[in-house]
Amino acid sequence: MVRGNRLAYYATMLYHTGSIILVNSLFLLIPGLYGYIIGESRVASYFMLFGVLLLGIGYIIRTILSATVPLTLGDAVVLTVIAWIIIPVIGGITLHLSTNMPLLDSLFEGVSGFTGTGLTMVTNPEAMPRTVLLWRSLMQWVGGLGVVVISLALFARGVTVARLALAEGREERIEPSIKRTVIAMLKIYVYITIIATLALYFAGMSFFDALNHAMTGVGTGGFSTHARSVGYYNSLFVWYAAILSMIMGAINFVDYSRLRREGFKHFITSVEVKTLLIIAFTGGAIVYIILSRNLSVLDFRLYTSSLFHAVSALTNTGFQVTSITDYPELVKVILVTLMVIGGSTSSTSAGIKIYRLVVFLKAVGWEVKRILLPPKTYFAPKIGARIVSDEVIRKVAVFIVLYIATLLVGSLITAYIYYSEGINVGFVDVLFETASAQTCTGLSVGLAGPHMPDPAKAVYIVIMLLGRLEIYPFIVVIAKALGRGG
């Protein structure tokens, strides 16, 4: 690349980064304004100052630079990774300044917030200013849909939109153009957040708690305004309202569009919707059977908590209603399995995703069918009305292997850190906590927190980002840095 083209390339990348910073700086102003209204002016001033400063920086960048070089898909991936590092760091630094949390803890909280993980360094949310609590929830709400996707809805144009959306995992369309798709997704997101807020409020939460838990519920993030999470509300009505919010967040936005266009029958018969509900209720039943000491009498409360944690794991939300630290190891392994499966594609959930799981399992059946059929017999592998190509099957298989390998490596590194620090923890607990970080879930058996060794905090920061962007973007960035990319 000649010098002039290289400068134009960097200017284009910086221009789009400025756009993303500008849009996301606006969200800092929301808790800032709220803090001034409720009298938390000292804390609010940090959010307002930081928000205005970043707003100015983003505006100046967009004013003095221009996007003259078309982005390749590789460039879009790099830009997405940069955005997903910058925005959580900004969120973390704001927390550091406004709460005096240690910097590493604040960065952990920022990454956990925007990635929708929910593992937290805050041990007593009740003691935090409401301004900060709102910011923690807003981080997860924004991160759930995607810091890049929300920015696209306002600024990006043409092929840039398509490539950035693809890089952040939002390639499915529910409108003719990607930009209209992004705007439609944002509208749906607002609607289901309002529904979740009303459900939680009428179930018994205060409006502030209902709004915060709705944002972190449909954002499948799991931050709570209480140390006991949703369990603070000792109410089955609240628990089921929270289950509703988590499931709504884990449903594919394409299926929501089908609900609007084709009605409830087509919505409920969607492969992903059906599979999500079947796995959730089956997982809840299995957990209940293991935990129950008397299957002859239904313990409805225990069943509800079992279902709640199964849904929380599968949707990668992380809400809890009871402590799971002392759960049997078999239950923890089941919850790890649900976390790894994750929610639907084009939802706010992480994990492998249900569609990939369905493709993988059906591919096994298709391969058996090929063996049993007469030679040269042709059949088209389908899921619903969609034909599944061999290339898709290959990509799914490679991703699942890579995902599980990353989880095992992350768990071994974390276990070694605890071992080197002289801290005795079981490997199942380490696997559980690492899976919770990589799948951006937030369920915890007590390892994550301010008491974690600093190296483990740093490892989990990386793991959370890997999980949110599904690993490949970071491999692309490394490949480009080594000169192996386009």
109 vs 87: CA distance, rounded Å? 12
Give 186's contacts (C-beta < 8 A, 6+ positions apart).
145, 149, 150, 153
Task: Check: pTM over 0.85? Answer yes or no.
Answer: yes
- pLDDT, one tens digit per residue, over 3-57 is 557 788 888 888 888 888 888 888 999 999 999 999 999 999 999 999 999 999 9
| H helix intervals, 158-299 | 158-167, 178-203, 207-218, 236-249, 253-262, 264-268, 271-291
Percent of the chain, pLDDT > 90? 64
Which phi and psi (to 5°) does residue 386 adopt? -95, 125
In this predicted structure, the answer to whether residue 485 has a pLDDT above a threshold of 70 is no
255 vs 137: CA distance, rounded Å? 25
Complete DSSP assignment for 154-168 = TT--HHHHHHHHHHT
Q: Is 122 exposed, middle or buried (0-12, 13-18, 19+ CB in 10 A)?
A: buried
Q: How much is the pLDDT for 2?
A: 47
How far is residue 368 from each of residues 106, 359, 365, measured CA to CA in Å? Answer: 51, 14, 5
Confidence of residue 479 (pLDDT cuts 50, 70, 90): confident
Sign of CA dihedral 137, 143, 145, 147: positive
269 vs 249: CA distance, rounded Å? 18
Question: Whose structure tokens read 């239904």?
Answer: 298
Which secondary-structure segment (H or E) carries 383?
A: strand 382-383
Amino acid identity for residue 152 in this structure: L
